[in-house]
Amino acid sequence: MQIQNSVAVVTGANRGLGRVLAAQLLERGAAKVYAGARNTDTIDLPGVTPLQLDVTDPDSVARAAEVAGDATLLINNAGIFTATSLLTGELSGVHRELETNFFGPLSVLRAFTPVLERNGGGAVLNVLSVLSWFHPAGYGAYSAAKAASWALTNAAREELAPAGVQVSGLHVAYMDTDMAADIEPERKIDPAVVAALALDGIEAGANEILADEISRTVKAGLAA
């Protein structure tokens, strides 16, 4: 999949990693970048095409897939982190994490699958986490959602292969965005570095993109 001349949709593109991905897609010559956001007034990146998209709202998702009917690359980036324990946290927090971080990307992928197929295949990138594989108690809800989205990524890859749609997953630990505002600076990496690796991975047809040392170490240690 070449970024040059692609038509990309990035969910949660108004800030954080999504905004950086949208900027780098433009720099690499994407023909159009739809910047998805719950509130399009919060999109401040020149050159993108604003796209109203709340991944938890089926009507918004359906409308976005109609508007962005020329898409060839879907990046499921939008996400939340609520630090909810599965056993002692508010159950509503668990539901919110699953709704946004699992059912959200699933719903967007289902809506955009016919679009990508109609446009000749293309690619999907799901933004996952090292917490797809590493499940600390305090982050149980987020981990469960990201683990489920890893399974979604793998199942979708197999299901969409016959249509020529490439499906990749991006795993990273801490990035310097609002989501990780409470994490010490030395433990976070620049989202621009992660975005560059992600786009390189899409262009290389990688199934899995491991963006930092923590993700590589945890993945390598899974069998233990």
Task: Report the 10 Å Cβ neighbour count for 79.
Answer: 25
Binding of residue 72 to ligand NAP (CB under 6 A): no
From the CB of 6, what's the least distance to ligand NAP, in Å? Answer: 20
- The answer to whether residue 178 forms part of the interface with ligand NAP (CB under 6 A) is yes
129 scored as a contact of ligand NAP (CB under 6 A): yes
> Which residues are CB-contacts of 64 (< 8 A; sequence separation ≥ 6)?
9, 34, 36, 51, 52, 53, 108, 111
SS3 assignment, position 50: strand
Q: Is 209 in the site for ligand NAP (CB under 6 A)?
A: no
The site string for ligand NAP over 86-115 (x = CB under 6 A, - otherwise) reads --------------x---x-----------
Instruction: Pick the stretch among 62-70, 90-98, 159-167, 174-182 that binds ligand NAP (CB under 6 A).
Output: 174-182
- Structure tokens given for 73: 């690359």
What are the CA-CA distances from residue 188 to residues 49, 176, 182 (Å)? 29, 5, 10
**Which residues 6+ apart lie within 8 Å of 220 measured at CB?**
none
**Using rule CB under 6 A, residue 140 touches ligand NAP:** no
Residue with Cβ nearer ligand NAP (53 or 152): 53
Does residue 132 touch ligand NAP according to CB under 6 A?
no
b/e for 133-163, b at 16 or more Cβ within 10 A?
A: bbeeeebbbbbbbbbbbbebbeebbeebeee
Q: Closest distance between ligand NAP and the C-beta of residue 2, in Å?
A: 24
- Positions in the binding site for ligand NAP (CB under 6 A): 11-12, 14-18, 37-39, 42, 53-56, 77-80, 100, 104, 127, 129, 172, 174-175, 177-180
